[in-house]
Amino acid sequence: KAGVTQTPRYLIKTRGQQVTLSCSPISGHRSVSWYQQTPGQGLQFLFEYFSETQRNKGNFPGRFSGRQFSNSRSEMNVSTLELGDSALYLCASSLQGGPQETQYFGPGTRLLVL
């Protein structure tokens, strides 16, 4: 079974631009969560999608948004990029979401904002 895939793996943008990252969950998984990882703040939860609906949201500004498609693939978008948005963005999938299930992480998309 293929794991969680994320595209692109690396991205360089400039301040003010916007970016879209993609995540394909493991086949059959309907829950997709997104995390931002930085050296200073560690792994921070962005949002979770289940059956095309945002089910939970972390403490990030509205510039960060996401969506999920009917095939469970998910995208996250960051508008008006700031230098501080440079980070590794990870997505994780699980069957239904929730604390009793294992979340499987993708390799991440490393975003550099110049």
Partner 1 sequence: GQQLNQSPQSMFIQEGEDVSMNCTSSSIFNTWLWYKQDPGEGPVLLIALYKAGELTSNGRLTAQFGITRKDSFLNISASIPSDVGIYFCAGWASGNTPLVFGKGTRLSVIA
Considering beta carbons, is residue 32 or 70 the nearer one to partner 1? 32
Question: Which residues does 63 contact at the CB level (< 8 Å), separation at least 6?
Answer: 78, 79, 80
- Shortest distance, position 15 Cβ to partner 1, whole Å: 26
CB 104 to partner 1: min, Å: 8
Number of alpha carbons in the 13 Å side-chain half-sphere of residue 11: 25
Residue numbers of the site for partner 1 (CB under 8 A)?
A: 4, 33, 35, 41-45, 48, 56, 58-59, 90, 92, 98-100, 102-108
Measured from the CB atom, the residue of 86 and 105 that comes closer to partner 1 is 105
Query: Among 47, 41, 40, 38, which Cα is nearest to 92's?
Result: 47
Minimum gap (Å) between residue 55 Cβ and partner 1:
9
- 35: β partners: 45, 90
Closer CB to partner 1, 45 or 75, in the complex: 45
- Residue type for 99, please? P
Rounded CA-CA distance 24/29 in Å is 10
- In angstroms, what is the minimal distance from the CB of 16 to partner 1? 28
